[in-house]
């Protein structure tokens, strides 16, 4: 059974930093592109970032480019999101998401999410 | 980024009604579009992939059409279990979701 378990969500002040983690199991982690997707309170889904199976390729949405860094450790079946210079608009539930196959954008498994709240 | 304009943002319809949701891309995305269903407390689920392909196991009352910049998602005969929020998603250049459509029963 595929499982994606996020952690690391906290309440923090604007300008702060944190790292989200996602522990993956139930599939061959290093075969798949992985993503972070977020949903702000009362808002829709927003794609944040992706990383290729081997970590060689990363992409970011415009709203987080230059502030967030995605990474993975295939030896630990783990995905990460380093978040710097956070803003109030980064407040959201952050989901770790598995891509069904590279380049399809078909998200077949989602974690339950970890909540990040940015507030002064 | 490619922008996806989805409408309406919400709708209320009766059981059995035909429901249509549209999604417009800010540039040509060919057929690189998926439709997701999101129910409270549950993970999003792909219903339609590549604009018009019905995912295995999804009821045939769901359908999708379009290519280029204009896309349509249809429920032909709304059922109570279809109450959810629906999102279009392009994956031609990076990934963008539409704003979502909340579907309720009248």
Model confidence pLDDT, tens digit, residues A59-95? 999 999 999 999 999 999 999 999 999 999 999 999 9
Q: A108 and B46 in contact by Cβ < 8 A?
A: yes
Q: Does B11 touch chain A (CB under 8 A)?
A: no
CB atoms inside a 10 Å sphere around CB B31: 16
Q: Does A61 touch chain B (CB under 8 A)?
A: yes
Q: What's the mean pLDDT when you consider all of chain A?
A: 96
Q: What are the backbone dihedrals phi and psi of residue B86, each rounded to the nearest 5 degrees, phi first?
A: -115, 140
Q: B95 and A108 in contact by Cβ < 8 A?
A: no
| pLDDT over 90 (residue A102) | no
Quick one: closest CA in A to B34, which residue?
A: A106
Shortest Cα–Cα distance, A104 to chain B (Å):
7
Of B43, B89, B98, the CB nearest to A105: B89
Q: 3-state DSSP call for residue B30?
A: coil
Q: Exposed, middle or buried by CB within 10 Å (0-12, 13-18, 19+), for A105?
A: buried
State the best of B7, B95, B101 to mutate against chain A, taking most chain A CBs within 10 Å.
B95
pLDDT at B57: 96
pLDDT at A103: 66
Quick one: closest CA in B to A107, which residue?
A: B46
Q: A105 and B90 in contact by Cβ < 8 A?
A: yes
């Amino acid at each position: 059974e595929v499982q994606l378990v996020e952690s690391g969500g906290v309440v923090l002040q604007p300008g702060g930093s944190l790292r989200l983690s996602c522990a993956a199991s139930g599939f061959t982690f290093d075969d798949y592109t992985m993503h972070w997707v977020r949903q702000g309170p009362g808002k829709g889904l927003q794609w944040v970032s992706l990383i290729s199976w081997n970590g060689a390729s990363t992409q970011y949405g415009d709203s987080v480019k230059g502030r967030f860094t995605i990474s993975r450790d295939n030896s630990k079946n783990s995905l990460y999101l380093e978040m710097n210079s956070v803003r109030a608009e980064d407040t959201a539930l952050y989901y770790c998401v598995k891509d069904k196959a590279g380049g399809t954008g078909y998200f077949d498994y989602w974690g339950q999410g970890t909540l990040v709240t940015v507030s002064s | 980024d490619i922008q996806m304009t989805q409408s309406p943002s919400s709708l209320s319809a009766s059981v059995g009604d035909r429901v249509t949701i549209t999604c417009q891309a800010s540039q040509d995305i060919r057929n690189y579009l998926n439709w997701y269903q999101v129910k409270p407390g549950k993970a999003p689920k792909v219903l339609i992939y590549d604009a018009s392909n019905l995912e295995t196991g999804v009821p045939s009352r769901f359908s999708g059409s379009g290519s280029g910049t204009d896309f349509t998602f249809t429920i032909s005969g709304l059922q109570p279990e279809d109450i959810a929020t629906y999102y279009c998603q392009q994956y031609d250049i990076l990934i963008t979701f539409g704003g979502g459509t909340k579907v309720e029963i009248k």
